[in-house]
Structure 1
Amino acid sequence: MTKDAVTAEAPQAAQFGFEADVAQLLELMTHSVYSEREVFLRELISNAADACEKLRYESLSDERLAAEAGAPLVTIALDKEKRQLTVADNGVGMSHDELISALGAIANSGTRAFLDKLGQEGAGEGASLIGRFGVGFYSVFMVADLVEVATRRAGDDQAWLWSSQGKGTYSIAPLALDDAPKVGARVTLHLNAESDEFLEPWRIENIVREHSGAVSTPIDLIEEPGKEPRRIADGQALWTKPKSEITEEQYTDFYRQLSGSFDEPALTVHWRAEGRTEYTVLAFVPGSRPFDLFEPSRKSKSKLYVRRVLISRDVELLPAWLRFVRLVVDSADIPLNVSREMVQKSPVIASIGKAVATRLLQELKKLAENEPEKFATVWENFGSVLKEGLHEDPSRRDDLFAIARFTSTKSDGETRTLKDYVADLRENQTAIYYITGDDATRLATSPQLEGFRARGVEVLLLDDAVDAFWVTNALGFDGKPFKSVTQGAADIDAIALLDDSKEETPPAADVGDLVAALKETLSDAVEDVRVSTRLTESAACLVASEKGLDRQLARILAETGQKGLFGKPVLEINAKHPAVAALAASLREKGREGAADGLHLLLDLARVADGEAPVDPAAFAKRLSALIAKVA
């Protein structure tokens, strides 16, 4: 039954089926063994704390709800005799329809993404994936045979009982108000035989301390029926405490709760800004890549609080190129009654976001200078995202250049800074040279690099998609422009060869005839043919014309349907190469028609070396077969 088929006025108990993806998820939950089953408690506490925050927010504009809202509280109760664990909150609660939408279906692709990821990584990684994909509630079925949710929506005069054994169906029935929470929700787990550990107070306290100790709602524990509750988490928002009173473990616990992951933060930044706008920031750079790092939306998701009241859990405070940062901002200078829709248009929010981005770049620069090994890991995980800022945010380009790291022909498996590059410029070198593509290993063997390598000129190997864009609009670094080795003439004759004995000699006279024949024969595929100054070992290569787009950028744009708008490449030949000399001799002896196969093969070989298919694969195979037959 779909959500639209049931109305909030339904007075009778009803049975429902989970959506297909949820049913499959429950099957995994109840029949698989995960290494960290305690994740269920973290998820329940997180949901309860969110419900309390939501009630606080709604009560700001509804006096009726304000009268119902008490001090936020999450209570965990244990009953060994009945084998029950209960997590209750005095938050906003759920209506009949909200129970269906929240606990019977996932409104986005989270469940399917989780199932796909679980299939890739295996059950052993399941616990760490649960929180990352927004399917946390269903983790209760790892430890419970029956789950009941008693709830009453704040402001409603009806209460409901949701129940399920996690076997494909659930039911919702009216609940007498005397048996329901006054407001909020009470989740009761009837634990299975393998989950005795979660009836032990010490175990619950350890889990809360490890996973939820920094949650901004107090947590009480009732160790057994009739016993007084005991406070096991004070509910003081971590970011409001002085840094001197916070341990690294507490920062890590809060980061894990905020990010829904189990790694440790690579960088923690906590500060209070004062001045025209006052706010507190607690930011984390993750220790590993979030699963959604390259989502098409590329949105940053930060939590925004106003005087500890959650206004938005996914405000776009930071630019897209800092979207990996996990962030909490709490300000007293934003009106409490600001709508979530207006948050993105607020000039105060824009000002805070700009200042936070500046501070984060400063902290990353400090990390790069003081802890280069740790920064190297950060760059490995997020460098391709940070480089998006080089293209999208020119005002930050100098700051990003200061922390950017690149693989190059001299980096030997490590990375180099632009400062390192400029310090090693060869005499008469006037540009920073680069080559773009999608594989640094293949780029390092590109024929276009041969002349640069022979002269000891370092070339940046740029293998991220965004590299093809930012280098086209960046003016340069330290007065040196960026120049592609696959675009225009090499222009490196003024730089001396490392080995003088390999000084180039003028090409043979009949190479001019070969160039002319290549131009005429290949005119449909290339714009021009010329003798190369960049090749020393290969017979031929392809480059973009001086006014054309870089070869990699042209490929990327062609994939978007803009093929053919950027002109044809230039074919460069190595006049000293034996194959080129042999082809020139063949042209002299047999004429253009007799040497036609060789002319086409030379172009196809250049395309293959550039990672492209021959112009006509079938004709290429035929010509190559004929050549092999002659040699054999």
Structure 2
Amino acid sequence: MTNDAATEAPQAAQFGFEADVAQLLELMTHSVYSEREVFLRELISNAADACEKLRYESLSNEKLAADAGAPLIILTLDKEKRRLTVADNGVGMSREELISALGAIANSGTRAFLERLGKDGAAEGSSLIGRFGVGFYSVFMVADLVEVETRRAGESEAWLWSSPGKGTYSIAPLPLSDAPQVGSRVTLHLNAESDEFLEPWRIESVVREHSGAVSTPIDLIEEPGKEPRRIADGVALWTKPKSEITNEQYTDFYRQLAGAFDEPALVAHWRAEGRMEYTVLAFVPGARPFDLFEPSRKSMSKLYVRRVLISRDVELLPAWLRFVRLVVDSADIPLNVSREMVQKSPVLAAIGKAVATRLLQDLGKLAENEPEKFASVWENFGAVIKEGLHEDPSRRDGIFEIARFASTKAEGKTRTLKDYVADLRENQTAIYYITGDDAKRLATSPQLEGFRARSVEVLLLDDAVDAFWVTSALGFDGKPFKSVTQGQADIDLIPLAEEARTDEAPQAENIGDLVGALKETLTDEVEDVRISTRLTESAACLVASEKGLDRQLARILAESGQKSMLGKPILEINAKHPAVAALAASLRETGRDGAADGMHLLFDLARVADGEPPVDPAAFARRLSALIARSA
């Protein structure tokens, strides 16, 4: 500022606020702050920007370099006078800058500074925070009067800006003896509803939550005359090189981030460079959160812009990675005017997609290099990760690589799909599975008997999501997924295992008549009756038709209100089972009416084996009692 300008400037003047109408409308539409505490974040952001501006300008101005000390922000509390002061030793403001930056709403000084830097200097100014110029006005949520004492670096004049936030502000000269040597001092005269912000613990918690990662150190003076205390060191953990961070530091940060006491099972820390630049610090918990399956559960991702917290729970990751605790820090993400919500921008979407892909790769490396640790991760979060098989087809192959499944071949352990395909039997063309809600019960299902006799491995899928992804996934390594409880078994071409090659019992006589009688007697309960190729030990089982839904999926949909999805099952009978032979003999001797109880009993036993109650429990009990009496 020149001496001529200083001479022309009035000693004190009253002004009305100016506003860009379009941006003011945007402000009024989108800038409703949900938390009053954000005013402190905004002031600290402005102070950090001022320090960064002075650092940049001093690179080309030796005089400014002499004035520029180590960047520092000082917060001072004065309970008696109900004042909170935020001071910085940054670049400060001239009278004209006060008018343009604080007198025109939505006219950001930082944005103007970036424009002055121009294209060539954009990288130098990349750490500046403010963009929209409205954050400062959040101070009027907590203050009846705001005063800004400031001195522009390299100038010999200082100014006092003040406003009650009622539509006007004033600017007056400030004696240099009362002004900062360089930088700005913002004093808030707090209103009656803001006593909490006079408490040191409250200020410290807000700084730790919102501004603990700002690149400028922050000191707190708890009362006038007291020594300052460092509450933020100006270095965010994720900005440090990985080689300088210990496991203990990662664990401490994770516990603070997640509010947990366990140790992370996986730490992923990297910086992406290129078209977009951002830093990621992610943790896979070592224990399962209690609310993992709550419908409202989010990914708990924290988004920072230039080390300033913008959102605590931005929806950055897909739902199947909601257990990951994540910090993302970027300068490329556009913000709305209030910074309370992140715009659904293409940049944010691209970052989220890249982070999810990288996390999947890191989980794959953990599975390969530390299988025992990954086994614990899968035990805790496998049911959630498998949601991605249904909801995220683009990453299905990657999820298949890390997925682990219980099976009939690995009692008490899990198997990969690669393991399964490597052990395919002669003439086996599909990956067989059975779905339900209990792997141990599934392992005893009668539908598995023919597969077990041929040493064909069957996946035991006992998570609810399993019933969905198997219907949308085409297969793995060219082999389709096929349910053992749906359609024909189609396993006749697979040779029996050596131990299963024994003298087989003859087929029951008149088996065709029994099949016909069962169809007529059970017409209201079953879609069809047929001789089974999948049963070797049990008398009967239930399966779904080739064109119908898998039995477990149909049950889930029926429980959610779609009862029409639960169609009639197909009853398969073992023509070589003694009970079936006896029922065929009873039909031949007493006719269909005389054998009706036995046929209903056979169907109810198949339902019980399938995990369902008898159609009529009282009638089932009566028939079973009569059978016991006859055999006594």
Aligned partner letter, 2:213: S
The residue type equivalent to 2:512 in the other structure is G
Instruction: Kindly state the Cα deviation for residue 431 of structure 1 after the two structures are TM-superposed.
Output: 0.3
Q: Which residue of 2 aligns with 1:441?
A: 440
Question: 1:216 aligned to 213, 218, 226, which one?
Answer: 213
Check whether the contact 1:409–1:444 (CA below 8 A) recurs between aligned residues. Answer: yes
* Contact in 2 for aligned 1:433/1:485 (Cα 8 Å): yes
Structure 1 residues 480 and 182: alpha-carbon distance in aligned structure 2, compared to 1, 3 A threshold: closer
Alignment of 1:125-140 (within 5 A): none
- How far, CA to CA, are the matches of 2:482 and 2:504 in structure 1? 23
> Post-superposition shift, 1:184?
6.9
SS of 2:541's equivalent in the other structure is strand
1:214-268, CA deviations, whole angstroms, 9 ceiling, x for partnerless residues? 9537676889997634437524211111111111111111111111111111111
Code of the residue aligned with 2:622 in structure 1: it is K
Residues 181 and 512 of structure 1: CA distance in aligned 2, closer, same or farther (over 3 Å): closer
> Which string of whole-angstrom CA distances, capped at 9 and with x for unpartnered residues, describes residues 105-132 of structure 1?
xxxxxxxxxxxxxxxxxxxxxxxxxxxx
Q: Distance in 1 between matches of 2:334 and 2:551?
A: 51
Question: What are structure 2's unaligned runs of at least 5 residues?
Answer: 1-34, 50-70, 87-138, 147-187
* Map of 2:472 onto structure 1: 473
8 A Cα contact 1:153 1:184, kept in partner: no
Q: Which amino acid aligns with 1:185?
A: F
Show the counterpart of 2:41. Answer: 53
Shift of 1:630: 2.1
Q: How far has the Cα of 1:453 moved from its partner?
A: 0.6
Counterparts of 1:233-312 in structure 2 under 5 Å? 234-312=233-311
Label 1:56 to 1:587 Cα distance change in 2 as closer, same or farther (>3 A).
farther
8 Å CA contact 2:282, 2:327 repeated in 1: yes
Residues 508 and 494 (structure 1 numbering): CA distance in 2 closer, same or farther, change over 3 Å? same
User: CA 1:441–1:219 in structure 2 vs 1: closer, same or farther (change >3 Å)?
Assistant: farther
Alignment of 1:324-473 (within 5 A): 324-335=323-334, 340=339, 343-473=342-472
Distance 1:600 1:338, change over 3 A: same
How many residues matched?
477
Tell me the residue number matched to 2:144: 157
Residue type matched to 2:449 in 1? E
- Cα distance in 2 for partners of 1:264, 1:89 equals 38
Question: Quick one: percent identity of the two aligned structures?
Answer: 77
Using the alignment, how far apart are the partners of 1:73 and 1:323 within structure 2?
A: 37
- 1:72 positional shift: 6.2
What amino acid sits opposite 1:467 in the alignment?
A: D
CA distance in 1, matches of 2:190, 2:528: 87
What residue in structure 2 maps to residue 489 of structure 1? 488
Give the CA deviation at 1:509.
3.0
Instruction: Kindly indicate whether residue 592 of structure 2 is the aligned counterpart of residue 584 of structure 1.
Output: no
Mapped to 2, the partners of 1:497 and 1:598 lie a distance apart of 31
Deviations 1:185-206 (A, max 9, x none): 14479xxxxxxxxxxxxxxx9x
TM-score scaled to structure 1, two decimals?
A: 0.69
Residue of structure 1 in register with 2:605 after alignment: 605
| Pairing 1:185–2:194 present | no
1:590 Cα deviation after fit = 1.1
| Structure 1 contact 539–579 (Cα < 8 Å) conserved | yes
Any unmatched runs of 5+ in structure 1? 1-46, 62-69, 78-87, 92-151, 160-175, 190-204
- Give the conservation status (yes or no) of the 8 Å contact 2:143–2:189: no
Give yes or no for contact 1:74–1:89 (8 Å, CA) kept in 2: yes
Residues 179/529 of structure 1: CA separation in 2 closer, same or farther (3 Å cut): closer
**1:562 aligned residue:** 562
Which one is further off, 611-620 or 505-514? 505-514
Retained in 2: the 8 A contact 1:56–1:309? Answer: no
Q: Distance in 1 between matches of 2:145 and 2:569?
A: 72
Q: Which residue identity is paired with 1:547?
A: K
How far 1:379 sits from its partner (Å)? 0.5
Q: 1:471 to 1:155 in 2, by over 3 A?
A: same
Amino acid at match of 1:343: V
For 1:157, give the aligned amino acid.
D
Structure 2: how far apart are the matches of 1:231 and 1:462? 54
Change over 3 Å in CA distance of 1:574–1:341 after alignment to 2? farther
Tell me by how many angstroms 1:402 deviates. Answer: 0.3
User: Partner of 1:157: helix, strand, or coil?
Assistant: strand
Q: TM-score, normalised by structure 2?
A: 0.69
Number of the residue aligned with 1:509 = 509
Question: CA RMSD for the aligned pairs?
Answer: 3.7
Correspondence 1:572 to 2:584: no
Query: In the superposition, relative to structure 1, how do residues 514 and 253 fare at CA in structure 2: closer, same or farther (>3 Å)?
Result: same
Q: Is the 8 A contact 2:538 2:574 kept in 1?
A: yes
**Deviation at residue 296 of structure 1 after TM alignment:** 1.1
Assess if the C-alpha contact under 8 Å between 1:220 and 1:232 holds in 2: yes
Distance 1:401 1:350, change over 3 A: same
Deviation, structure 1 residue 435: 0.2
Give the residue type in structure 1 aligned to 2:197: A
Distance 1:89 1:442 in 2: 65
1:27 alignment partner in structure 2: none
**By how many angstroms is 1:501 displaced?**
3.1
Work out whether residues 601 and 620 of structure 1, in 8 Å CA contact, stay in contact via their aligned partners in 2.
yes
Q: Secondary structure at the match of 1:626?
A: helix
1:537 maps to a residue whose letter is E
The offset of 1:628, in angstroms, is: 1.9
Measured at CA, do residues 348 and 188 of structure 1 come closer, stay the same or move farther in structure 2, by a change above 3 Å?
closer
Q: Structure 1, residues 424-468: CA drift from partner, whole Å, max 9, x if none?
A: 001111000000001111101111111101110000000000000
Distance 1:51 1:589 in 2: 91
SS for the counterpart of 2:442 is helix
| Cα distance, 1:502 vs structure 2 | 2.5
Partner of 2:4: none
Alignment partners' CA distance in 1, 2:47 and 2:524? 71
